[in-house]
Amino acid sequence: MIQEGGGRDKHISGDSGHQVLKQFDTKVIVNICGSTVADYLEVVERLSGQEIDMLEANISCPNVEHGGIAFGQEPGMVEYITKEIKKKAAQPISMKLTPNVTDITEAGGADALSLINTITGMRIDVKKRAFCVANKTGGLSGPAIKPVALRMVWQTCRAVSIPVIGMGGIQTAEDALEFIMAGAAAVAVGTANFRNPYAMPEIIGGLEKYMEENGIRDLKEIRGIVS
């Protein structure tokens, strides 16, 4: 799946959306993004009084203050924006890292790391002889990026001491188990939900079945088992 990137949306849902989430027995993690440091800080401040368990800062957004390159592609900027967000945030912060870097393990100061974000890709319409997306390039997600995501999660888990949330092409319980065995403390599922609205309950059911069949009481027993 290729999705067009570069959009800017600072809209924050009102109390009605929050009330809907509160009826579920689950943790609430809000993903935030922006094109300037001020964008991020404004959103963080507005969410500081909300009953939210964690903020996930997407730093793969175009950084208009520094020529359009994503925040996450500048090692110094990653550390800087993490520290600035931490000053304002009332909740723990997970930094969502871009895979389009030399060393994805760099994100000093965060409480957790989320990876990976989409990989930069492109499609060309041969009939129209034009790019398929307005920005020419876009974010490649879905099953195609899973091997890359899995390797980066494994690599990062071996390099940091904070929790890592693994994501990127997870479609099944087996996919989720691979990330957990690589060291992920949790996993996130995105693209699969567009193809199959029952993806999440099926994955959860698959994990429960695997644990029952293998006598596993807690996923911590197999987390990071691959070294």
* Same domain? 160 vs 110: no
Q: Which residues of 44-63 are buried (b: 16+ CB within 10 A; e: fewer)?
A: beebeeeebebbbbbbbbbb
Domain count, the chain: 2
pLDDT of residue 102: 59
* Same domain? 164 vs 72: no
How far is the C-alpha of 182 from the C-alpha of 62, rounded, in Å?
30
Phi/psi of residue 50, each to 5°? -90, 155
**Would residue 86 count as lying in a domain?**
yes
Task: For the chain, state the CA radius of gyration.
Answer: 18
Between residues 103 and 202, the one the model is more confident about: 202
pLDDT of residue 153: 95
Say whether 61 is catalytic: yes
pTM over 0.85: no
Confidence of residue 5 (pLDDT cuts 50, 70, 90): very low
* Same domain? 68 vs 167: no
* Same domain? 156 vs 62: no
* Same domain? 37 vs 92: yes
Between residues 4 and 138, the one the model is more confident about: 138
**Would residue 170 count as lying in a domain?**
yes
Cα angle 103-123-68, degrees, rounded to a multiple of 5:
50
Q: The domain containing residue 217 runs over which residues?
A: 141-227
Give residue-wise pLDDT tens across range 63-109: 445 544 566 666 678 888 899 999 999 999 999 887 876 566 655 68
Between residues 90 and 23, the one the model is more confident about: 90
